[in-house]
Amino acid sequence: MPVYHLSTRIKSNVPPSYLLYDLYIYRMDSNRNKYALVNVKQQPFLENYETQRHITENIDEPLSTIYIMEVTLYRKTLLNTLCVSPTPFTRMYTLEEFVSGKAWSQVKRENPCYYESTGTMKPVSEGGETKIIKISTPERPFIAKKYPIGSPGDPFEKNLIEQQINNRFNHVNFPTQSGASVCGPAAFFYCLQKDRPDVYAQAARQLWRYGKTKIRELEILPSEGCRHPTGYFSGNISGLDWMTLAGLRDSENAVLSFDTLDSPFAGVTMWQTLSEWFEKAGYEKIFSNVGITYAGIQGIRDLNEYAQKGYKVVTLINDGLLGRSNSNLTVPTHWIVWDGPVTQEADGSVHLDLFSWGDVFDQIKNGKDIYFFINRFFGGMVFKPLK
């Protein structure tokens, strides 16, 4: 198994010899257990503000594996060493980016930064002096038009978003699109939240802070309209789910903009697009029988085999299959994620634990048989869990 030398770099106007860093590079599994590659304290920088190239132990993981990086900075003075970033800077990169020296951004504020003002003040004995220091702060990327910053009900308020992210990280709840037509993004982020809660949380934080994020090769870059949506959030989709679900869907729309809470047509997701999201994020697709025609009983049997082995099974249905829908149609309208195989009772009724609309339980309409199921079932895609 190979070993690697990992590094990152910072931005600063202070000579690098005056600075030190803590560097923690790790990933989590689905149970939130941490696996560290690097964990060093108060190390010196190189002359170009790059960290040391820290050697790992033997690693048996693909270079595409996503890791979280935490950096804490220190400033050395004549008498002591001061921590100048009490909250660690966090960002995610692939193992390949760390190995190749690309685990940093061309955009200054997207790196660990430390700057000091320069100049000498006149002493009081010489009349003193007042200097004005201007510190610029970029505008928050997501601002709802009806809820400006500081107003009650602001869905993107920092503490509210952080609470929502922490709940998702701890699996307290799951993506909920409410009335927005973003079931495809909800299915994707549900799987990501279950497999890599650290990546889910980091992606959400980067969206809030920068208005964009990248999960391996999947770039989420919502438009100006999506970042400043119209409509009323009260009782509708949360700020977190708007950033992630609507943000992902809007990133794919070349014509329709997802810029208002009641724009259902902009949210329709085709299976080719949904598969691409999964695969760009690092999921491996191993089976597909999805289409615009019914997949039949054999289609259920095929997917059941994968569900029983713990694979991610994402299927396309008509929402009338589910108890909370009143639809009488039999056309494909909705994406769900299986939480086990389809089963059938002695009386013929069909059951399936599944994720949809923020909940995970048996949501199939009570007492419906297999024929009711297959007339609203259009197959699905199977992915290996993300590690």
Helix (H, G, I), strand (E, B) or coil at 160: helix
**Could you give the dihedral angle defined by the CA atoms of residues 51, 57, 58 and 63, in that order, rounded to the nearest 10 degrees?**
-30
Beta bridge partners of 383: 285, 312
**Amino acid letter, 378:** F
pLDDT at position 217, please? 96
Q: Is 171 exposed, middle or buried (0-12, 13-18, 19+ CB in 10 A)?
A: middle
- Cα 226 off chain centre by: 17
Domain ranges of the chain: 5-114, 158-271, 285-383
**Could you give the dihedral angle defined by the CA atoms of residues 154, 190, 256 and 144, in that order, rounded to the nearest 10 degrees?**
0
- Cα 99 off chain centre by: 23
Q: Is 107 exposed, middle or buried (0-12, 13-18, 19+ CB in 10 A)?
A: exposed
Which one, of 385, 378, 297, lies nearest residue 342 by Cα? 297
Which one, of 248, 176, 177, 178, lies nearest residue 212 by Cα? 248
- What is the chain's pLDDT, residue by residue, as a tens digit (387 residues)? 789 999 999 999 999 999 999 999 999 999 999 999 999 999 999 999 999 999 998 888 999 999 999 999 999 999 999 999 989 999 999 999 999 999 999 999 999 999 998 766 666 666 666 656 566 678 899 999 999 999 999 999 999 999 999 999 999 999 998 877 899 999 999 999 999 999 999 999 999 999 999 999 999 999 999 999 998 887 789 999 999 999 999 988 755 567 677 665 555 689 999 999 999 999 999 999 999 999 999 999 999 999 999 999 999 999 999 999 988 889 999 999 999 999 999 999 999 999 999 999 999 999 999 999 999 999 999 999 999
Classify residue 146 as left (phi > 0), alpha (psi -120 to 50) or beta: alpha
**Amino acid letter, 327:** S
pLDDT at position 256, please? 59
Contacts of 78 (CB under 8 A, 6+ apart): none
pLDDT at position 85, please? 94
Residue 312 and residue 366: Cα distance in Å, rounded?
Answer: 25
Residue 385 and residue 309: Cα distance in Å, rounded?
Answer: 11
pLDDT at position 233, please? 85
Which one, of 60, 90, 86, lies nearest residue 74 by Cα? 86
Q: What's the whole-model pTM score?
A: 0.93
Which one, of 301, 351, 293, 350, lies nearest residue 318 by Cα? 293
pLDDT at position 119, please? 65
Residue 306 and residue 312: Cα distance in Å, rounded?
Answer: 8
Phi, psi of 4 (to 5 degrees): -130, 160
Q: Which helix (H) or strand (E) holds 193?
A: helix 183-195
The string of DSSP letters for 277-315 reads HHHHTT--EEEE--SSS--HHHHHHHHHHHHHTT-EEEE
